[in-house]
Amino acid sequence: MPPPLPRTVRAVDTAQLLDLAQEAALHGFSQRLPVDWLQEQLATEATHYLFPTLVQRLTHRPETPLQWRCQKLMTVSTGEQIWGLLDILPGTFDKIPETLDTASKKGIVSRIERAVTVREWVERMDADAGK
């Protein structure tokens, strides 16, 4: 029986988010962005947020451990917050300290729902660079 999906939001700094992305890459998880891309785009001194939304089990890859698919609210170098996904091992997520109060968590989930996606942000940045 998989561990229950937590209904919480966890805050991480940029270094922690890069470590989580590296762990996801090592496991070959589907939902992750390249670590190099994140290093280039993330605001160095920012706080980012993870909200687990789905238990992910890859039945076609039984050697791959169960993971939690998290919605991710990231602050990029432009100061904007953008939305993406990141698959995380349950044990890794559980080690992230619980630091946010209920009101903050609700506000973050609301911001996730309104944020532009990584793809939308990249397309806009590319279009602006082409002007």
Averaged over successive runs of 10 residues, the pLDDT of the chain (131 residues) comes to 86 97 91 92 97 83 82 96 96 96 97 96 88 65
Within the chain, residue ranges assigned H as helices are 14-27, 35-41, 90-94, 102-114, 118-129
The number of domains in the chain is 1
Q: Is residue 4 part of a domain?
A: no
Q: Is residue 5 part of a domain?
A: no
pLDDT, position 131: 65
Q: Is residue 68 part of a domain?
A: yes
Q: Is residue 15 part of a domain?
A: yes
Q: The pTM is what?
A: 0.91
pLDDT, position 105: 97
Q: Is residue 54 part of a domain?
A: yes
> Which domain, by its residues, includes 49?
10-129
